[in-house]
Every structure is written in structure tokens, then in C-alpha cells.
Structure 1
Amino acid sequence: MTHDDSAQSQPSTQNDLSPAELAGIADVLRDAGVDLAGPLTSRLIAGGRSNLTYRLDDGAAAWVMRTPPRAGRTPSAHDVAREYRVIKALGPTDVPVAPAVAVSEDDTLLGGDFAICGFVEGRAIQAQAELDTLTDAQLEKTVEALSGTLAALHRVDHVAVGLERFGRPDAYAARQHKRWTGQWDIVGTHLDPSVHQLAERLATRLADHLPEQASTGIVHGDYRLDNTLVQIDGDDVRVAAVVDWELSTIGDPVADVASMCVYRDPAFDLIMGSPCAWTSPRLPDVEGLAAAYERAGGVPLRDFDQHLALGYYKLAVISAGIDHRYRAGAAHGDGFDTAGQAVPLLLEAGLARLPR
């Protein structure tokens, strides 16, 4: 729920916050015990294909607010109150997150829930050009930091931190399969029939080869470099905060590792609209990332190919959802007009991971 201050803001759009909305957000902050130094201003931070992310300022301090898109929403895909809950629970743990400040589930102000966290200084490395400024030593340390942070998340006792009801602990793969198949039925209806056939084949084969769950923990659901803020000092690299928790739940940690690896696919560039950091050939491949996670003390990666196939299916549905919002006129900018092209590529990659 944070981004670095150097991120570029988007041009004026229907997503701008009005003075009345900013005044209402200020009231929510005051109710949470925040002593504001002056009127709030806002800036829509670039990046993200789902929830909107704003930087809020009062002239003395800064916060980050997350809220669903104003139009083209899909059910269960933009739950910022849920996102806030996991961030607040992880605050006292070894997992780096932004300080939780306030949440509002009153949709009369912005048309949806919104959550506010403290601003965290750090670099959001999103583009390959940004990654290329790192030395090989810094890049190696970055991969180690990412792997260690994800392994630390998976070691958290979700019951001990108050997340015992955050999600069902069992049958994670089956629930994910059902969820993303349901989402496909909502957002994939406009795509070519040949793409529908690919999605049906992958969904059917996944149902026959679902991975068995051997461990349970907190799953981020969208973990990769550009969903973290990193602080770099020479060759020392640390993760300052893990962000974008909207897909988090309780489930199988192996799926989190698989999802991270799926984002290495070049098709991800079509979703982002330009060469992104996480698809860079300078980074380890799927096997290298999996090995780095295991070295960091993560859970054993059992049934990993099946998890990868499920991860490709999930990302294909997310891509179809981005294309769905673009065609509905609810989103624009780099990546929104090309996300649909990624869908068949991801479905085919998922099929390649499963036995025929």
C-alpha cells in the first residue's frame, strides 16, 4: 500500500479525488487519531491494474490510500478492507509492511471501501530500465531479500496474529480453481472462442491434477519485485515493505512461490504495457527462483508444476479482467490495451506444465 515518491502520477482522469472527497478522507484520518497539519492533497500513483493507489499529503506528513476502481469492478476482486486487515496483523511480525492507519467500509464517500497506511520510503522497481541500474551484486542481494521475505511470511503463524478466520486453511488449490473459473465466466465472455477453448482445457486438466496441500500459511497471492519497496545502500539490499495484499488469504505457501515464478513469463510485459523489471533476463529463471526460496528456509515445493499451471490460469484470468475493464471504458493507459493478448499465451503455458 505504498510506493516510492519518485513514481510518476497519472494524468487527470475520472479517478481524481474531489475537494469534498478529500475532506471526508480527512475526517476518517482524524477519527483514527491522526492530527492533520493542514488540508489534504492527493496524487494518483502510476501502476496497478486493479485497486487505485493515492498518495495523500497534509503539508507535513504523507500516507497512501487504496480504493477500488470507480467503474468496471468485478466481485471479490477489490477488497481493500481485507487487504488492510492482513497488513495490520503483520505489523508486529518480521514481515515488512506499511503502518496501518485507518480503514473505511462506508461506500457513500468514494463509492467503495478505502484503506490508509503510512508512507514508506523505498524504491518500487517496476521497469527493466530501472532494474538495469543495479549491479550484478545488488541484483543478487535483491533476489535474496525477496526470497527471505517471502519465506518469513510463510513462517508466520496466522492464528497467533489473529488471522484464523482470514481464509479456510484447507483445499486451497480447489478453492482457487473454483474462484478463478468463476471470475473467467464474468470477464472472459468477450474473448475469441479459441481462447475460451484454451481456458476450458486448462480448467478441466487442472481439476484432474490439483496439487495436494502439505502446508498452510499466509499467502500474498501477488508477490514479485514490483510489489515490494526496497532500500539499497551499496551492495546491501533490504525489503522495506511488501505491498498490494488484495489477493492475500490463508492457503498453500507453495502457490505463492509458483505465482512469483509465473510473473517471470514474458507475457507479463503485455499486461504491464512495457518491459518490466520482473521479466528481465538478468533475474533467475523459475528453477533459480524456486531454489533461492528453498535456501531461505521456505516450505518444500511439492507438486510445483501443478502449482505453476494454476498460477498461469490465475494470471490469465486477471489479464482478461484488465481487458474487460479496458473495453468497458473504466481503465486506460499502458498495458490496458494489450493485456488481452497475454491471455492465450498464459493459458498455453499453464497447459504445458500439466500431463496430457
Structure 2
Amino acid sequence: MSTPASPMTSGREQIALDVSALGRWLGEKGVQVTGALTATRIGLGQSNLTYALTDEAGGRWVARRPPLGTLLSSAHDVAREHRILSALAPTDVPTPGVIGLVQDPAVCDAPVLVVEFVDGLVVDRMSVAEDLNDAQRHRSGLELAAVLAKLHTLDLADVGLADLASHQPYAQRQLKRWSRQWEASRTRELPTLDRLTGWLHDHVPTETSLSVVHGDLHIRNVILDPTTTQVRAALDWELCTLGDPLADLGTTLSYWPEPAEPSIGMFEASQLPGFATRREITSAYAAASGRDLDALTFWEVLGMWKIAIICEGVRRRALDEPANAAEGGPPPVSMVDGIVDRALDRAHA
């Protein structure tokens, strides 16, 4: 029996997987693996570490594991993500096919989720967005609304996710959870975020429905058809829970700056000509879901507040363990501050 390998270094990057052990595990699962596996860090996400696995015949899979170092309680749970993807597999919500979950310390020192490789286009760089024509850009935003509408129509009991999370009011749960995350991961004092937290507590809406929510759906978390820009797979389900469906739409909109808004260093492809406006995305979601959107401003502001806290957590993990940082490094302080300022502007608009 092999022992877990230390993270391997390939060029400048650390590979926190024992690819030989993982290849044997795949073979035991009945997956045909030809020759040795290689692993390459992919994506610009800075939470769970994500790798493309490739064998000598060109077979490809994707593996996700928690980041290195000390982790916050309940964060980076790839076993939970495995459960969610398995439950969604029979539905029309586009997700990657699940291969399995590694929970053997002889293979890896942490759980590893392995899924099928989905070929397609990931708009995670401005150069990719710039290569799209106006029609492709426009449809990509509307596709996010369509994915959310499909997800939010699922019957919790039918998909086996009724016990995924609490059925208590989602806003209060989110405020409690992310305030706790902020206190555990903050790198400094930030009075503007404290003011934003106060506004959210003062404006909690009445919630009317409960659904599966993705929790982090944006343009970089989907794989698109390169021609039609239809979503082939929605990725990164680690924040998925049960909650108010408008929270999902609010989060998507909070990642979607428009051309007139100042740059704060986030990924701002949606400011290019042709991309749908937030109003168009909202209208598409309303038409597909039939939901009342009166409380949407609160959920947009909550989404930005949460993104700021997530970015601060990424900064903390990179400070504690530099190998956790993705390409380009962690978000700068100016980005976190800019997100909070944008949220305050939206709250008081």
C-alpha cells in the first residue's frame, strides 16, 4: 500500500495529489486509464484546488480537493459537492458527470472529487470574452438565468436533497455564517464592511420559497458551447445549499458589472459591448421562473458582501499557505474594498 505523497512540484506549481495512487484508484473504479497520469492545476478559482488529469492516450478527468493548510469549519467540503452533483445528474441542470469520491488516506491526505472532463469554452480571461461576437456574449448572460431557473424548479424530495441544509430562513443563516467566516479570516479592520453588514441586518426580506441554490454561479463557473454559448456544465458547487432562489440570482448579478461602472479589479468581461445587462438577465429569469423579484436588491447586496468576505478568505489562505494561490495571486485589498463600496452604493441607490 502506498503512502500519501507530499505535494509535487511541476514547474512553478505544487500538485497536491499523488497521481500514481489516483490512477490506480480510477482503474479500480473501472475507468480505463492508459499509462501514467499527469495533473495540471486549472481554473482561476482560489478555493478548492482543481486539476486536469490526463493519461498517455489523452483521456481526461478533473479532480478537486480542499486547499492546503488550516481550513475554516464546513468550508471546502468536496464530499458534500459529490453528493450534490450525484443528485443533480438525472436532472436537466447541466453538470459534469461524477466518477467518484476518494476518501482513502492511501490515495490522498484529503477527500478528492473526480468528475468527467467537459470540453468547451470557459470565459475566465478577458481575451476569451473579447473573441466572442456580440450574439455569443449576449446569450451567455441569458444562459446563466436559464440554468438558475432550471435549478430552482427542482423538487427537493425528488432529487434527494431535502436534508441538504436547514430549512430555516436563508438570509439569517447566511448573515450568521459569513459574519463568522469574516471574523475567522479577516486580515484587517474594514469599517465599510461593518456598515454593510448592519444594512443587511436592517433590510432582511420576508422569504417565500426554498430551493436548491448554487451559491456562486457566474460566467467563470460554467463551461459553454464554443459556438452557441449554451451552458454545457455548471461548476464549483461547494457553496450549494437550500435557500431563497433570489439569493442565487442576486449573486449572479453581483458578479456582473456594467460598462458605466468603475473598474475595481474583478473579472469585468460583462462590461464589453454585447453582453446582456443585469436588467435583461433579471427579465429572462423572471420569465423562466415566474417568481416575484421585489426583494432582489437585498440579495444583490448580500451577494457582493459575501464575495468580499470570500476574497478576504482567499487572501488569508494565500498568506498562510502560498501554494493555495491560483494564477495571478490572491485578490488585492483594493478589490475587496471596491466590492464593499459597490455594495453600499447598490444598497443606497
Q: Distance in 2 between matches of 1:267 and 1:343?
A: 14
Contact kept, 8 Å, 1:98 with 1:118, in 2: the verdict is yes
State whether structure 2 residue 292 is matched by structure 1 residue 300: yes
Q: Distance in 2 between matches of 1:335 and 1:287?
A: 31
State whether structure 2 residue 244 is matched by structure 1 residue 244: no
Where does 1:326-337 land on structure 2 (aligned, <5 Å)?
326-330=318-322, 331-332=324-325, 334-337=327-330
1:103 corresponds in structure 2 to 101
2:337 corresponds in structure 1 to 344
State whether structure 2 residue 34 is matched by structure 1 residue 37: yes
Aligned length: 335
Q: Distance in 1 between matches of 2:173 and 2:47?
A: 21
Q: Distance in 2 between matches of 1:267 and 1:325?
A: 28
Q: Distance in 2 between matches of 1:270 and 1:307?
A: 22
Greater CA deviation, 328-337 or 58-67? 328-337
Aligned letter for 2:38?
Answer: T
Aligned letter for 1:347?
Answer: V
CA spacing shift, 1:124–1:72, aligned 2, 3 Å: farther
State whether structure 2 residue 21 is matched by structure 1 residue 24: yes
Per-residue deviation, 1:107: 4.9
Per-residue deviation, 1:11: 4.5
2:167 aligns with one of 169, 176, 182? 169
1:14 corresponds in structure 2 to 14
Contact kept, 8 Å, 2:311 with 2:336, in 1: the verdict is yes
CA spacing shift, 1:339–1:126, aligned 2, 3 Å: same
1:189-208 Cα shifts (integer Å, max 9, x gaps): x22x3x1x222222222112
Contact kept, 8 Å, 1:217 with 1:250, in 2: the verdict is yes
Q: Distance in 1 between matches of 2:167 and 2:282?
A: 23
2:216 corresponds in structure 1 to 222
Q: Secondary structure at the match of 1:241?
A: strand
1:203-224 Cα shifts (integer Å, max 9, x gaps): 2221121122112111111101
2:61 aligns with one of 60, 63, 74? 63
CA spacing shift, 1:123–1:279, aligned 2, 3 Å: same
Q: Distance in 1 between matches of 2:338 and 2:346?
A: 13
Contact kept, 8 Å, 1:62 with 1:119, in 2: the verdict is yes
Per-residue deviation, 1:247: 0.7
Q: Distance in 2 between matches of 1:25 and 1:55?
A: 12
1:184 corresponds in structure 2 to 182
Contact kept, 8 Å, 1:70 with 1:111, in 2: the verdict is no
Aligned letter for 1:146?
Answer: L
Per-residue deviation, 1:333: 5.3
Which residues of structure 1 form unaligned runs of 5+? 1-9
Contact kept, 8 Å, 2:165 with 2:241, in 1: the verdict is yes
Q: Distance in 2 between matches of 1:340 and 1:11?
A: 28
TM-score, structure 2 length as denominator?
Answer: 0.88
Aligned letter for 1:112?
Answer: A
CA spacing shift, 1:202–1:247, aligned 2, 3 Å: same
Aligned identity (percent) is 32
Aligned letter for 1:154?
Answer: H
Contact kept, 8 Å, 2:42 with 2:52, in 1: the verdict is yes
Per-residue deviation, 1:130: 1.1
Aligned letter for 2:282?
Answer: A
Q: Secondary structure at the match of 1:296?
A: helix
Per-residue deviation, 1:269: 6.0
Per-residue deviation, 1:152: 0.8
TM-score, structure 1 length as denominator?
Answer: 0.86
Aligned letter for 2:77?
Answer: D
State whether structure 2 residue 49 is matched by structure 1 residue 52: yes
Q: Secondary structure at the match of 1:169?
A: coil
Q: Secondary structure at the match of 2:193?
A: helix
Aligned letter for 2:13?
Answer: T
Per-residue deviation, 1:267: 8.1
Q: Distance in 1 between matches of 2:325 and 2:311?
A: 14
CA spacing shift, 1:268–1:14, aligned 2, 3 Å: farther
Q: Distance in 1 between matches of 2:265 and 2:327?
A: 9
CA spacing shift, 1:268–1:46, aligned 2, 3 Å: farther
Q: Distance in 1 between matches of 2:297 and 2:327?
A: 31
CA-based RMSD: 2.4
Per-residue deviation, 1:257: 0.4
1:215-265 Cα shifts (integer Å, max 9, x gaps): 2111111101111111133xx332111111111111111000000010124
CA spacing shift, 1:268–1:159, aligned 2, 3 Å: farther
